[in-house]
Structure formats: structure tokens, C-alpha cells
Amino acid sequence: MSSPEIRWAGPRALLLELDSLDAVLSLHSRLRDNPAAGQVDVLAAAQTVLVVFDSRASARAARGPLARLGSMPAGAAAVPDKPVHIEVVYDGEDLAEVGELTGMGVEGVVAAHTGQLWTAAFGGFAPGFAYLVGETDALNVPRRGTPRTAVPAGSVALAGNFSAVYPRRSPGGWQLIGHTATRMWDLQREQPALVRPGTTVQYVAVRELIKLSRTDTNQADGTQADAAITDIPAAGPALEILSPGPQALIQDLGRPGLGDLGVSPAGAADTASARQANRLVGNLPTDAVIENVMGGLSVQARGELTVALSGAGATADIRSKDIGSEGSSNSVSRAAPMYAPFSLHDGESLHLGVPEAGLRTYLAVRGGIDVPPVLGSRSTDLMSGIGPAPLAAGTVLPIGAVDSARAVGHAEPPALPEDLSSGAGGEPVVLRITTGPRHDWFTPRSLEALTGQVWTVTAESNRIGVRLGTGPSTPGAAAGTPLERAREGELPSEGVVAGSLQVPPSGLPVLFLADHPVTGGYPVIGAVIPEDLPAAAQLPPGATLRFVEVDPETLQPPAPLPSTRKK
């Protein structure tokens, strides 16, 4: 067996390209059962295995062992457990077309789909979504030319040599052949994903399905299906949301290591500022905080609280009512500091203005936001709908017990770089990137344009990704050019990391943030290094940026190629 090609996917991840799906599954199984030193996550895909590490040093040290492990013969397949039976009504919109594409007709497609066992090769796209491989290639059909904007939950579909069930309503380009009431993802189960890599599936044709209840339907569609209840009666100290502003979410450091289930890491978009806010009030770095976008957050203390603000700097004031001698009530206000701990007394309210620079402000409370964790984290994942619902007026958040052994911190400078004021006439923010893993899909001119021109953050950006445009940010400035591919065709879906610069057919990169999908089918030309992702997460619409290439092992500019000129 040949050695796998190993590509950097950012400075803390390696993408191994193998010569068969059997080799992919074998390597993935070995790394899942016996993780490499420093391994955080491992994700199988159609032709690749993505291995994510906790540091550059761990990734660098793993290259040799992974090359040897990937060149070993694929191990014997494990004896599968009893197949999972999925009942299907074969009434999909594309069933007749699939019959024509395969030459089998409708009845032949149904017979081929139910007449073989399917094995889950890998997960991705969404929680509970599994790519199933059949025993034959009889149902190998292309994706639709134009993807649907919304595929109903429970849709049974085909694409390439794979079959899958859409666990929730979502966009998709697969060929729909039927639907099922089987719940593929359920947080009430000990194992939320019904089908995991290695699980075998037997599709069973039925005439009708047991109708889902209203609650089940909502869960299948993902409309607050996985949202933890945040309005929990609080016997002790608590924080009431008076106004969430444009968006306020509960976040911690996320839930890494669940890529096989299609679950993104999520967590605070700007981890440096979230850590700083927790440090200032004496919390652990993993404690939950509130992430607020574009200010407007107002909260009221129930009990005596110690709080701190970090991230995007904004004016903040504390309001209380002063009861006069004759019973009159007057509002009293005082300024609240940024980047320093302060007291929020019982009944007082804290109000944030719009940030002067940056996008996201973090509010930490000593003791941490104590809502129930979901899959080991209190983070809200907007991509997959896992975790607490976005905060709303009237929500009461309980505060955890204070660890008196941890001291409250002192005032600190901001954790963010000073150049975040771009977009208001300032210099572009500089983000360091490593090229690859699919830079060879682009023309030399596009590789130069990636780092040679200024990019603009568009209004379509969110926690899933920063969408970039080439338009000038100031009148009279020259516009850049979209990136062009050197290769045509479709890239099989493969694992991606936060910071990846995925390039769709428009040629305009999307910089993946915390809620990014775990796999993607567009080539990734480069990746912003983890150290610069907090700054990327703070870029508001209209901000400008430049990319600077660095070596993935040293984070320094790559060494120039040796000169070929004769002396």
C-alpha cells in the first residue's frame, strides 16, 4: 500500500489523502481507537482523513508516524453489529429521474436500495448525517445541477456512491428518493446519532409511516430541537436578560472531538477575549460567558455579582434606582469599565453601547453561566442548533457556585490587536495564513491575489464564516479580483478546520469560524492560523483585511526558493 500524501490544513491539522475508501476507514478506525499524541479530533471523508491536534508541535511530530500508519495494509473489517432498520416510503421528487439515470426504473431503484446493506463510512454536513456506502455501485448518480434551498427532514437521498437521510431541514443537492420517520439525531438518547461510522443500515420499503407528533416534527426539523432550556428558576444569584441586542449567545470553549457526528466545535468566536473575561472575574477558562454582537445587551443582577467585559470595546453604564427621603425614585447611572472586574449589585442593570471597534463583546460573571451542558458544552451552535437557544428578553440565567480559591483579576489591556478599527478608514487588519491543503486547485495568479490584494468583510458574515468580497472599502480604491481555479470538477467532501478559507465557484473566500460545518466540498486555498482567529472573529461588515503567508511549522514567512542564477 502506498504512503498517503500528507497536506497541512492549518498549522495544527494534517489532511491525509489515501487511495481507497477502505484505507480511509482503516486509518480512521486505528486513530479513533489509538489516538496520536495530542490528537483532538479525527474525521474520515470520501478520500481523506483529517487529524486535528492541540498544538503545532504535536502536528509536526505526528507527520512521520501518520505516514507509516497510513501505508499499512487496511485491517480486516470488523464484524458489523445487527443492521439498523430504516423504514422508507419511496415517494421522492427525484425517484423517477434516478430510475432514468440508472436505467433501472422506479421499481428497480427501490429494489436496489433495499436489497443491499449500507455501511456508514463517515459523518459530516449536520449532526446525525452519515454518508452510507452500499455493497454495489448500481445507484451511483450525480448530485442535482441546482441544489434545493430546503430539503425536508427525513428525506432519503442518493449522491455519487452514497446514500443518506437528512436529519433536519437544510439546503442540499442530493437526489431525493423517499422519506422516513426514523429520527437520526436525538439528544435524549445515550448515543444521539443513530448511525455512526461503521454502523450498517438496512432500508425497508413501507407504504406509510407513523406520523410524528408536533414535538417530534420540530425536533426533526431542527427548530430549537436541541436547544437547552435556559430560563431555569434560579434559587441563588442569577442574571436576567433585559435586552439581548442584535444577538446574545451563551458560549464557552466549545465541544471539540465530535466531528464524526457532524457536530462542529462551536464555542466563543473570539476565544482570547472570552478567556480574558473569565480570567478577570476568577473563573476557569472553560466557564460559560455571554457573547454579544454589536452591543445593545442589557442585563440585571439578581444578587451580588462580580462581572467583567472584554472583546470589542464599548461604552457601558450601570443603572440603579435611588429612593429619596419622600419615597421618590430617581435613576442613578455610573460608568462600567472594560477589561477590569467590577461589582453589579442586586437590582442594578448593565447596559452596553455599540462597540467603537470590533464586533463581539464578552460578559463574564464570577461563577460562570450555569445552564445545562449539551454534549459536554454550554455553547450555542447556530449551525446545527445544539445548545442553549439565543438569549431573549426575560431569560433568567443561573450563576454557578464561586470558587473562592480563585482570585479576581486585575485590569488588563485588550486582548485584541489595535488595527481592528479598519473599515472606518484605518489600515487593513493583517491575518497570517498557511496555504493549502488545496492551493493546487488554483491558478498562480489567484495564489498571488490571495495575499496581494485587500479583501472586504461583507454583511452576510456570521459565526459560521466571514464572507469576503473584493469591492473597495473607500471611494476611488481599486477593486480586487475573485480567485480562479486551475482545476475543474468536484472535490469530494473532506474535513475542514476553523480558519479554513474555502472558495466556492464565485471565487470569493469564506473564512470559517466557530460554527463552521465539519466537512466541505469546495477547495480550501489556505487557513488563518489559530492565533489570529480571535481578530478575524471581530471584523465587522465593511472592515478590510490582508492575508500574509507563513510557514505552518514556524509561523514565519516561508523561506525564499534557492536562486538558480549562476554566479
Instruction: Please state which of the four CATH numbers 1.10.3720.10, 2.170.8.10, 3.90.1570.10, 2.40.100.10 is assigned to the domain occupying 418-549.
Output: 2.40.100.10
Divide the 567 residues of the chain into consecutive groups of 10 and give the mean pLDDT of each group. 89 95 90 95 92 97 94 66 93 97 97 96 87 94 87 95 92 94 92 90 91 43 44 77 98 94 94 98 98 98 97 96 62 94 97 95 98 96 92 97 90 84 69 96 96 95 95 60 90 93 94 93 95 96 95 89 52
Q: Own/partner pairs for 29-36, CB < 8 Å, 24+ apart?
A: 29/75, 29/78, 29/198, 30/69, 30/75, 31/69, 32/260, 36/62, 36/65, 36/66
User: What gap in Å lies between CA 513 and CA 516, rounded to an integer?
Assistant: 6
Q: Quote the Cα angle for 264-434-127, to 5°.
A: 10
Q: Give CA–CA dist 362/340, Å, rounded.
A: 12
pTM of this structure: 0.89
pLDDT given at position 358: 94
What are the residues whose beta carbons fall under 8 Å from the beta carbon of 555, sequence distance 6 or more? 11, 56, 432, 529, 531
- Topology of the domain comprising 84-223: Cyclophilin (2.40.100)
Enter the C-alpha cell of residue 122. Answer: 463517515
DSSP for 233-275, please give it: --SS-EEEEEEETTEEEEE-S--TT-GGGT------SSHHHHH
Summarize pLDDT for 17-57 with one digit per residue, the tens: 999 888 998 999 899 999 999 999 999 998 999 999 999 99
Amino acid at 136: T
Determine how β-strand 455-457 pairs with β-strand 544-549.
antiparallel
Say how far apart CA 99 and CA 103 lie, in whole Å.
6
| Residues contacting 395, CB < 8 A, separation 6+ | 230, 231, 240, 241
Cα–Cα distance measured from residue 325 to residue 458, given in angstroms and rounded to the nearest whole number: 54
Res 213: pLDDT = 44
pLDDT of residue 492: 85
End-to-end CA distance of the chain: 44
**Cell numbers of 241, please?**
436578560
Contacts of 372 by beta carbon, 8 Å cutoff, 6+ apart: 228, 229, 232, 378
Retrieve residue 269's grid coordinates.
468566536
pLDDT at 219: 41
Q: What is the DSSP string of 370-398?
A: -PPPBTTB---BTTTTEEEPPP-TT-EEE
Confidence at residue 559, expressed as pLDDT on a 0 to 100 scale: 77
CATH topology of domain 5-70: Gyrase A; domain 2 (3.30.1360)
The pLDDT value recorded for residue 563 is: 56
Q: Is-same-fold flag (5-70; 418-549)? A: no
Q: Where are the domains of the chain?
A: 5-70, 84-223, 227-398, 418-549
Phi first, then psi: what are they for 437, rounded to 5°? -85, -10
Cα 200 to Cα 137: distance, rounded to the nearest angstrom: 17
**Strand positions, DSSP E, 424-566:** 429-435, 455-457, 465-469, 494-495, 500-502, 510-512, 519-520, 524-528, 544-549
Q: Do residues 190 and 258 make contact, with C-beta atoms less than 8 angstroms apart?
A: no
